[in-house]
Structure 1
């Protein structure tokens, strides 16, 4: 896949082009501008996003898997024929087939979207072949991924609470619920050899200076009643508190819509992004449950501050590494490699920070904010956040190196 940074497409306004050939003499009421062509990649990106939002699974990694299957199938099909009619029908057919199998409740909406796309594609053998190829690749990949352990029940297997000890994860307030996502570490990756392929080094020991510094920072900046956290830092915590999948849907769409690569390479961008995120989730779960590091709230209460409470409720799984960190690191790695480190400014909103709009020009800005946000929320140590970003970048790099194995 090309590594050329994405550029905004430049289109000469149709009215200006007509003027150049003397079209100013058109009779009153005649059309003066061509209708903007539909970008089939963005069209089916939005269909996928709407489908996952409306009928997605309860576990984030399962939804990344849905994206990965649909768009990997599309990318494979698009390598078969360069004709435009084939390409557009193949992409729509692959994503439609995958989503129909994985989100059957959206059958009516998916069928309508497919009909709309195919109505624009000239009828003929190329359209028929593309549609058949896309469907065939989706069915083959669905069969290939059957039983991969990424369904919600397999992700959230029962995990016994370990015996209390310094540094060891325990259920966290207020719900003191069971550990979540413990089963993800046993799932079958797309491109990693196994979930432990890039297992992190152990976190700092509980009696180390680094661990003490981590806890002191979270105690001061992550407390619900912090007197040192600024309004901007509180906003950052709220902005990144929600689902990473939700928050990164728009940045990936920005990258896709601004890309000037061909349709096949753009489909590969979406596929590689979500394949990397599935494999990153598996690697994250492996390190989390290998080390079972306690959360700041547990550590700070054990140290004597029995009433210490984080700004935001702590997720129910171990601290190290941060899942938000691994997600942002992997996303940054794929986007930087495939569309460039910088992009024209784009705006981003968050469902957990209503009314807030932030503007970004690099993918790394998102990672840096994720690192800070989880400290300001009081739910992760900075060490866990930074280690998470490193792990995500590592898995992203592996995904890109193995891309031909995915598509070939």
Structure 2
């Protein structure tokens, strides 16, 4: 059923794209980004790594837009240490080149990037059916391949390639520290992620949150009350709270067990969810192609830096998860609604990246931007309506309490940290001369 829903989503995107004029490729951006999500779901890419792939794959498209649209600032004005692109990016077919660049960069970076070869071939056929000149298609692919090579070369300098050579993480054998959780007891995900070079923020610890609530197993202590809140809420959660928890689950690989049988369920990551929100918002706002790429790239940048910032604190405090504490000191049989992710608890990653994404989207599209989020339809979850991006971020954050996988202080401090990261990305956008779209930025004039 889920596979059929994904296929239907692609068909809908295709029909919408074919309904546009031949020179307008705006509605092809979101399905290109979703192609990345689909491959990452196949590969079970973890959330921090997923944010990195989105950022680099969108950067190539942004570079091409900036090279051909003088109203769009060069990526060097946004990204720290970004090398000036080589000549050869200017082409009348730059929008096509940008689309192909998303896929070509993913093909080179993703573990199963070869799967995108079919998406590239399908895009070629779609363009041919729309009577796009073959010379424009060939030129676009050639430019995209050069751009992808440039992006990959830049990505290799962020120290990601050194992670596998670092010492394996060993959980600290101290009270109150994180330890692998049921049902799979997976080892910690990306314990050295803070060493990856960020794109905009100065360092991984630039926005380190205040220390978590002091650990204590004593009833009546502040920490015990945090754990009791999680436990009590799980016993009386409303249907709405359960729905919110499921909607924002975004666990790339959850495992359900029944006796000796284990089943794995793949979903989009938190970053994938917010990238899809960006696509939904771009379409509702009626942004043109160049503005859509700018919007998606800005969100991807915020996601990558937000995960780097968050993971720095996660493995500094290495705090225990609610499931571990509650099973030991409150109820040995208790289970959270959502499967506990395999990394330390503080702060809440979804809170950090949601707040960061919401700040960027709010700056570009406005604080009262209402939209319907149907990102989870493919997982048989009903769409949800939001009055603003910040409201959505707040709901995503509190969903971790409803799901039983985070304490409240990890959520509130995560929101503070993510907002700071998002504001830093927004400051860089302003510094580069990128104005809110509703203020008449030239690139969105239809």
- Scaled by the length of structure 2, what TM-score is found? 0.73
Q: Offset at 1:134? A: 4.3
1:16-45 per-position Cα deviation (integer Å, ceiling 9, x unaligned): xxxxxxxxxxxxxxxxxx953264233032
Do structure 1's residue 218 and structure 2's residue 230 form an aligned pair?
yes
2:400 match: 374
- Is residue 144 of structure 1 aligned with residue 154 of structure 2? yes
Q: Supply the distance in 2 between the matched residues of 1:394 and 1:296 (Cα, whole angstroms).
A: 26
The match for 1:232 among 228, 231, 240 is 240
Which digits, 9 at most, give the CA deviation of each residue in 1:105-159, with x for residues without a partner? 3213213314544775865998887665544333212101115344797499721
Q: Counterparts of 1:229 and 1:386 in 2: how far apart (Å)?
A: 20
Matched, 1:101 2:108: yes
Shift of 1:333: 1.2
Q: Closer, same or farther in 2 for the Cα pair 1:156/1:363, shift >3 Å? A: farther
- State the secondary structure of the residue aligned to 2:210: coil
Is the Cα contact below 8 Å between 1:42 and 1:256 reproduced in 2? no
Q: What is the root-mean-square deviation of aligned Cα atoms in Å?
A: 3.3
Match of 1:46 among 16, 31, 46: 31
**Residue 92 of structure 2: SS of its match in structure 1?**
helix
Q: Per-residue CA shift, 1:146-191, capped at 9, x if unaligned?
A: 15344797499721110122x2222223333322221212212222
Give the structure 1 partner of residue 212 of structure 2. 203
Partner of 1:12: none
Conservation of the 8 A alpha-carbon contact between 2:370 and 2:385: no
* Shift in CA distance, 211/60, structure 1 to aligned 2, threshold 3 Å: same
The corresponding residue for 1:176 is 185
In the other structure, the counterpart of 1:23 is none
The superposition leaves residues 184-217 of structure 1 with CA deviations (integer Å, 9 ceiling, x where unpaired) of 1221222222212211111111259543332221
Distance 1:73 1:35, change over 3 A: closer
Alpha-carbon distance between aligned partners in 2 of 1:156 and 1:104, rounded to the nearest angstrom: 28
State the match for 2:444 in structure 1.
Answer: none
Give the Cα separation in 2 of the matches to 1:121 and 1:107. Answer: 21
Does structure 2 conserve the Cα–Cα contact (< 8 Å) formed by 1:74 and 1:95? yes
* CA distance in structure 1 between the partners assigned to 2:223 and 2:164 by the alignment: 33
Local SS of the residue matching 1:359:
strand
Q: After the TM superposition, which of the residue ranges 188-197 and 114-123 deviates more from structure 2?
A: 114-123
Q: 1:281 to 1:154 in 2, by over 3 A?
A: farther
User: How many Å apart are 1:63 and its aligned residue?
Assistant: 2.6
Q: Note if contact 1:89-1:121 (Cα within 8 Å) is conserved in structure 2.
A: no
CA, structure 1 residues 153+86, in 2 after alignment: closer, same or farther (shift >3 Å)? Answer: same
Q: Is the alpha carbon distance of 1:339 and 1:183 closer, same or farther for their aligned partners in structure 2, counting shifts above 3 Å?
A: same
User: Please, which runs of 5 or more residues in structure 1 have no aligned partner?
Assistant: 1-33
Match of 2:253 in 1: none
- Tell me what 2:260 maps to: none
Q: Which residue of 2 aligns with 1:163?
A: 173
TM-score, normalised via structure 1 length: 0.79
Separation in structure 1 between the aligned mates of residue 135 and residue 91 of structure 2, nearest angstrom: 12
Matched with 2:416 is 390
Question: Relative to 1, partners in 2 of residues 1:94 and 1:215: Cα closer, same or farther, differing over 3 Å?
Answer: same
- The answer as to whether partners of 2:355 and 2:394 remain within 8 angstroms in 1 is no
Query: Equivalent residue of 2:372, what SS?
Result: strand
Q: 1:97 to 1:175 in 2, by over 3 A?
A: closer
Deviates most, 393-402 or 107-116? 107-116
User: What are the superposed Cα offsets for residues 271-310 of structure 1, whole Å, 9 maximum, x if unpaired?
Assistant: 1111111111111110101111111122223435333332
Q: Following the alignment from structure 1 to structure 2, what is the Cα–Cα distance between the partners of residues 62 and 232?
A: 31
Equivalent runs, 1:105-144 vs 2, <5 Å: 105-114=115-124, 116-117=126-127, 133-144=143-154
Cα deviation for residue 388 of structure 1 reads: 1.5
Cα distance between partner residues in 1 of 2:318 and 2:403: 20
Q: Which has the larger radius of gyration?
A: 1
